[in-house]
Amino acid sequence: MSPRSAEASDGVAFLTALLIRFPELGSATLGPKLGEIRLEFYLDREIDTQRFADFVEKFRMSWDLFFDLVRAKTSERRITRVVDYPTETHEDGSEVEIIRVTRDLETLSLEELSLVVSLIRDRFLAVLIEGEPVPVAESKYQEQVLLRSLDKVRSDPYACGFLTGFRDEMRVLVYANDKGEAPTTTYPGGNR
């Protein structure tokens, strides 16, 4: 196996374990910009602009508090804190609302992933499109796989290239997109 294949394999294992462990996630992309991960949560209807703006404010405060508690120093992290709220129209004409969180990989932790997912699930439970829940035993196993693969991906966050994983009923599909992302229309939180 070539070094590039091994690194891509680490990325595939990470995305697969991430999407299985957190059924609230609709998709995840390694490398929207090199060294970053983008998490997408799908909603089945539009959220009121003010409700979303309030959520973004509380989300950022929670994020800042988390970093204070784990004593992450600014010199140890490069945080790309983006919470966008795009609407994408699919071929069948239906719209899916998306909450998108972008974060650097170098300092990402399982605890932070759990925090992000919990904040979004708790606030938008009624409209969040979730995958099938994972049995507890499988969840623990996927958490271990996630921890191992996160360590590998963090050790060289630029090596995986562009990989996207998404849920399709009970499956997780991962594909390589070495051309980068196609442009999408995004609406920054609070400006909609």
- Per-residue pLDDT tens for 46-77? 888 888 888 888 988 998 899 888 876 543 33
Domain assignment present for 64: yes
What pLDDT, on a 0 to 100 scale, did the predictor assign at position 164? 94
What pLDDT, on a 0 to 100 scale, did the predictor assign at position 92? 60
On whether the CB atoms of residues 154 and 105 are closer than 8 A, the answer is yes
On whether the CB atoms of residues 183 and 43 are closer than 8 A, the answer is no
What pLDDT, on a 0 to 100 scale, did the predictor assign at position 186? 32
Domain assignment present for 184: no
Q: Which residues of the chain have pLDDT under 50?
A: 1-4, 74-82, 182-192
Domain assignment present for 183: no
What's the predicted TM-score (pTM) here? Answer: 0.80
- Which CA distances in Å does 5 have to 8, 11, 80, 176? 5, 10, 27, 11
**Domains identified in the chain, total number:** 1
Q: For residue 19, what are the domain limits?
A: 3-176
Which stretches does DSSP call E strand in the chain? 27-30, 36-43, 82-84, 87-89, 95-104, 163-168, 171-176
Domain assignment present for 150: yes
Long-range pairs, 59-62, Cβ under 8 A, ≥24 = 59/83, 59/119, 59/120, 62/115, 62/119
